[in-house]
Amino acid sequence: MKTLLKLNINGEDFDLAASPGAYLVDVIRETVGLTGTKKGCGIGDCGACTVLIDGRPTLSCLTLALACVGKEIVTIEGLSKGNELHPVQKAFIDKGAVQCGFCTPGMVLSAAALLRENDRPSRDEIKTALAGNLCRCTGYTKIVEAVEHAGQLISGEAHHG
Amino acid sequence: MAKREFDVIGSTVTRKDAPKKVKGEHEFADDLQFPMMLHGRIKRSDIAHSRILSIDTSKAQALPGVKAVLIGSETPIKYGIVPQMPTEYAIAHEKVRFHGEPVAAVAAVDPETAERALDLIEVVYEPLPVYTTPEEAMAEGAVKIHEDNKFPGNIAYEADQDFGDVEKAFADSHYVLEKTFKTSYVNHAFMEPHCAVSKFDTNGELFIWSTTQVPHYLHRHLSKVLQMEMDRIHVKVTGVGGAFGGKGEVSNNELISALLARKAGRPVKVLYSRREVFLQHRGRHPIQMRVKVGVDKEGMITAIDYDGTMDGGSYGGWGLVILFYTAAMLHLPYDVKNVRFRARRIFTNKPTCGAMRGLGGVQPRFALESLLDQIAIDLGMNPYDLKKKNAIGLKHETVSGQVVRHCEFRKCLDQATELSGYREKHGKLPFGKGIGLAGGYYISGTAYTLYMAYKPHSSALIRVDTEGGVTVYCGATDIGQGSDTVLGMMAAEKFGLPFETIHVVSGDTSLAPFDLGSFASRVTVAAGSAVCKAADNIIDKLLPVAAVQLGVRAEQLEAKRGMIRSVFEPGKEIAFWDVVSKYIDAHGPLTATGDYTPPRRTGKFKGANIGHSPTYGFSAQVTEVDVDLETGEVRVLRVTEAGDCGQPINPVSVEGQVEGSIMMGLGQALYEEVKVGRDGRLMNPSLHDYKIPTMADLPELNTTFVESYDPDSPYGAKEAGEGPIQPVIPAIFNAVYDAIGVRFTEMPITPERVLRALDEKKRQEGGTC
């Protein structure tokens, strides 16, 4: 039996029907159709399904959709302003931090949340903040470099390109 | 070597997929939705070895929302990636060989209904003894896991190779060291679970979207298992969320999605859970190997003797090929004249082992590089000196007849040790801190295909059109490593056009010409050669047209920076696109093909086809570790890699391959192991319990390349995706030995093992350590 709920995703309200036990990741992907949020394990181990809820990186595979009513949900599709990429997205491109791209949306959102709190994180702070986002392709090095670079882009110390 | 000037090769271009990936726009198989699409789920055995006496699906079929139910007797055609030795079924037929094997499948309107239906399927089993180790499976009287297996003792295949006179060489040796090593059962742990979507159109043609490294092998298997003509099957590779060999053979979900789609008459998606990824497995073979190395007074290797038992798991997979690769990869990058290899691959009741990054090389390198390290130390030599002395030169032919046409391994040893200060630090760091060196190499593609056809291994078609631009069609598969970018860069360099203007269409059996797939580090050399040849053929058509326009001879022209221009007379030039336009006006469409077949070399011994490659990549690594003497934890502090990958086409992508390889090897060395219960059940099939490195484990990685250019490769390039994982594990083990004086021979080096070893050491040394 489905219930009706209103979710605010990327600044837009969606009137949806979902079962009370439905997880946010499935509602975002299947019902709303925003497939940028990835599902790598379904049980909160890999971080690929990370979205921002009221600005905090959250595992959408462990979060009930119903629990998100009245909150601001940002998925990877909502991070950029149209074609204008977020500095973290630019930095991931510039630093070669993207390989298969499956962990990338969650990784980018975790990094964006970190930099909103602290745009000059140390390498150790980056590693701690993003340790919940697994990546098997890159060996993480270029991701750390990208997050540092993004911090510089945000604080105006570096330019994209 | 003359300095080579390139406009695109060696530069860092923006991968065209990167902007899409950072926005989550890159499409993976599970992102696809079709009208009327059903969800397939697989019922898996809860027993590891048994006969299937009966399956009752009637209750499942009666459940509202269930549209098709499938069992093994409906798909009794055996297949295997090695076509001469098929062992597998899409769904277990008559027998179950591992805990979690598919025994039935359901397609339903939603995943929940499909899962409910699985619970309603009743299977009656007749249990058989379960063998979770090769010793049990080989024991006298053991039941055959595959009844038609011609070998006794559940041996899947055996290898037996002898080169030189090993016994005499050992007798003449100054020093001989022998140890037994054990490697672990590890999974690729790529981030994207397997997913396939199958759809039959009204004409009965099959379209399948899947996350695969090998669309053409999938194509062949679908044709065999579904009994359909190949030209009625269209395989489309979606985004591939990591693979590392784990998507390098056909996966049950692909066949099951197609079979269910045919039966239900509707599109069917079959997505694996993470547990199912571990059950599909195809990870690295655990090997127990006794290895013996002899050296003369100078430290020159006299002989190597290897005896290994590979735990293959329940099915054949790539096993036969990997067995012989292990033989082929035993002694390079060192010059050894006397080599003996005895090995066997054993069937056990576990998920099947297969191809995983650096297959064939990782286990023997672990043993060899550990032994050479110990031999050098025992002889009072620096391990660098011993390895350098034995390293092969620029060109080499092994005792088994493998021809290395280009090798800069000595430079790798020099550069890695110099940059890291290895010679100054080794043996001199305080207790608990250590530094280790190891070398390795890998093939850049294979000389033979599995089905022994004469069809070129790679082919490409290029279309140049004044309206559509330049499009490269090639069957190569971009699995995240960036092969589309590499192929596009090569075409851009050939045509003298910006990389951004080149379109690459790949991974589609209907659109792109044949390519074997992304495995064996073959794409840059093989598909790259095909693309370069096709581009040369396009240019050959354009130059005479330009020559007429410019009043010069065609042979004097080159395509560079958007122009076709005279090499000798500056200013005699015409825009590339003007020439294309004139060509098309006069001759019609401008297209050309290119193809590549590697040199075929073989020998007169069993397995002689395997190990030959057009060219080989090399690397050396120095790793620094800190062993916590209280907790037993090994932390890798720094890895310095010096790689010979020829000319890096896209250096940032190559660095990414190296860094990914190092972290994957680090995981196997220190953390990772799939644990199997006595009943064959997997104990840790999740990314929580199966621990891959996280960002918190990241050491400082110093990735460098040595000056290298293979003149016979496309733009001098060689492999970079699998060579760099070869030295990772032994470099860590050697560093741990340097740190605490314990020679570990079994992976992973867990804190428990370290503490136990330190206690043991303390006891032996009378508490003085």
Asked if B663 is an interface residue toward chain A (Cβ–Cβ < 8 A), one would say yes
* Residue B308 shares a structural domain with residue B429: yes
- Give the span between the Cα atoms of A86 and A10, in whole angstroms: 14
Q: Which residues of A touch B698 (CB under 8 A)?
A: 127, 139-141, 144
* Residue B583 shares a structural domain with residue B630: no
Residue where one domain finishes, among candidates B596, B619, B637 = B596
* pLDDT value of position B768: 53
Same fold yes or no, A3-78 and A87-154: no
Q: Which A residues 117-156 touch B at CB under 8 Å? A: 126-128, 130-144
CA-to-CA separations, B430 to B739, B752, B758, in angstroms, rounded: 7, 22, 15
Q: Which residues of B touch A46 (CB under 8 A)?
A: 191, 274, 687
Candidate from B239, B243, B653 with C-beta closest to A101: B239
* Residue B213 shares a structural domain with residue B261: yes
* Residue B443 shares a structural domain with residue B517: no
* Residue B612 shares a structural domain with residue B680: yes
Q: Which residues of A touch B24 (CB under 8 A)?
A: 34-38, 75-77, 104-105
Q: Which residues of A touch B479 (CB under 8 A)?
A: 100
* Residue B492 shares a structural domain with residue B364: no
CB contact under 8 A, B656 and A96: yes
pLDDT tens-digit series, residues B627-686: 999 999 999 999 999 999 999 999 999 999 999 999 999 999 999 999 999 999 999 999
Residue range B177-199: average pLDDT? 98
pLDDT band of residue B4 (cuts 50, 70, 90) is confident
pLDDT tens-digit series, residues B682-704: 999 999 999 999 999 999 999 99
pLDDT band of residue B324 (cuts 50, 70, 90) is very high
CB contact under 8 A, A144 and B698: yes
Looking at every residue in chain A, the average pLDDT score rounds to 96
Candidate from A93, A96, A102 with C-beta closest to B241: A102
Asked if B482 is an interface residue toward chain A (Cβ–Cβ < 8 A), one would say yes
Q: Which residues of A touch B481 (CB under 8 A)?
A: 99, 137
- Give the span between the Cα atoms of B613 and B710, in whole angstroms: 13
pLDDT tens-digit series, residues B748-764: 999 999 999 999 999 99
- Give the span between the Cα atoms of B331 and B324, in whole angstroms: 13
Asked if B732 is an interface residue toward chain A (Cβ–Cβ < 8 A), one would say no
> Scanning the structure block, which residue is given the tokens 């619970």?
B119
Asked if B550 and B540 count as a contact pair (C-beta separation under 8 A), the reply is: no
* pLDDT value of position B450: 79
CB contact under 8 A, A108 and B22: yes
Residue range B422-438: average pLDDT? 98
- Give the span between the Cα atoms of A88 and A111, in whole angstroms: 7
pLDDT tens-digit series, residues B462-505: 999 999 999 999 999 999 999 999 999 999 999 999 999 999 99
* pLDDT value of position B447: 87
Domains contained in chain B, number: 3
CATH number at residue B687: 3.30.365.10
A–B CB contacts, 8 A cutoff, strictly below: 181
Residue B153 in any domain: the answer is no
Chain A residue closest in CA terms to B31 = A35
- The token duo for B162 is 């002898």
- The token duo for A22 is 């439905």
* Residue B499 shares a structural domain with residue B431: no
Asked if B76 and B89 count as a contact pair (C-beta separation under 8 A), the reply is: yes
CB contact under 8 A, B687 and A46: yes
* pLDDT value of position B765: 85
CB contact under 8 A, A40 and B274: yes
Predicted complex ipTM: 0.97
Residue range B609-624: average pLDDT? 96
* Residue B583 shares a structural domain with residue B626: no
CB contact under 8 A, B695 and A37: no
Looking at every residue in chain B, the average pLDDT score rounds to 96
Chain B residue closest in CA terms to A81 = B23
pLDDT tens-digit series, residues B100-111: 999 999 999 999
The boundaries of the domain holding residue B215 are 32-128+196-242+247-275
Quick check: B310 pLDDT over 50?
yes
Q: Comparing C-alpha atoms, which of B665, B727, B694, B521 is closest to residue B184?
A: B665
Residue B146 in any domain: the answer is no
* Residue B736 shares a structural domain with residue B619: yes
CATH 3.20.20.70 fits A3-78, yes or no: no
Candidate from A34, A42, A134 with C-beta closest to B191: A134
CB contact under 8 A, B191 and A46: yes
* Residue B343 shares a structural domain with residue B325: yes
Asked if A46 is an interface residue toward chain B (Cβ–Cβ < 8 A), one would say yes
* Residue B629 shares a structural domain with residue B714: yes
CB contact under 8 A, B24 and A105: yes
- Give the span between the Cα atoms of B253 and B709, in whole angstroms: 42
Quick check: B452 pLDDT over 80?
no
* pLDDT value of position B725: 98
Asked if B228 and B192 count as a contact pair (C-beta separation under 8 A), the reply is: no
* Residue B470 shares a structural domain with residue B527: yes
Residue range A107-133: average pLDDT? 97
Quick check: A131 pLDDT over 70?
yes
Axis-axis angle for helices B383-390, B362-378 (nearest 10): 120
* pLDDT value of position B3: 55
Residue range B385-402: average pLDDT? 97
Candidate from A76, A85, A134 with C-beta closest to B692: A134
* pLDDT value of position B679: 97
Residue where one domain finishes, among candidates B596, B622, B641 = B596
Distance from CA of B274 to the nearest CA of A (A): 5
Asked if B192 and A100 count as a contact pair (C-beta separation under 8 A), the reply is: yes
Q: Which amino acid is at B218?
A: L
Residue B171 in any domain: the answer is no
* pLDDT value of position B769: 47
Residue B413 in any domain: the answer is yes
Looking at domain A87-154, its CATH class is mainly alpha
- Domain extents in chain A: 3-78, 87-154
* pLDDT value of position B145: 98
Residue B4 in any domain: the answer is no
Asked if B23 is an interface residue toward chain A (Cβ–Cβ < 8 A), one would say yes
DSSP string across B381-448: --HHHHHHHHB--SSEE-TT--EE----HHHHHHHHHHHHTHHHHTTTSPTTEEEEEEEEEEESS-SS
* pLDDT value of position B83: 86
Q: Which residues of A touch B25 (CB under 8 A)?
A: 36
Most A CBs within 10 A among B191, B478, B690, hence the mutation to make, goes to B191
* pLDDT value of position B752: 98
Asked if B241 is an interface residue toward chain A (Cβ–Cβ < 8 A), one would say yes
DSSP string across B16-78: THHHHHHTT-SPBGGG---TT-EEEEEEE-SSSSEEEEEEE-HHHHHSTTEEEEEEGGG----
Residue B423 in any domain: the answer is yes
Asked if B238 is an interface residue toward chain A (Cβ–Cβ < 8 A), one would say no
Residue where one domain finishes, among candidates B596, B614, B639 = B596
Q: Strand pairing partners for B288?
A: B182, B309
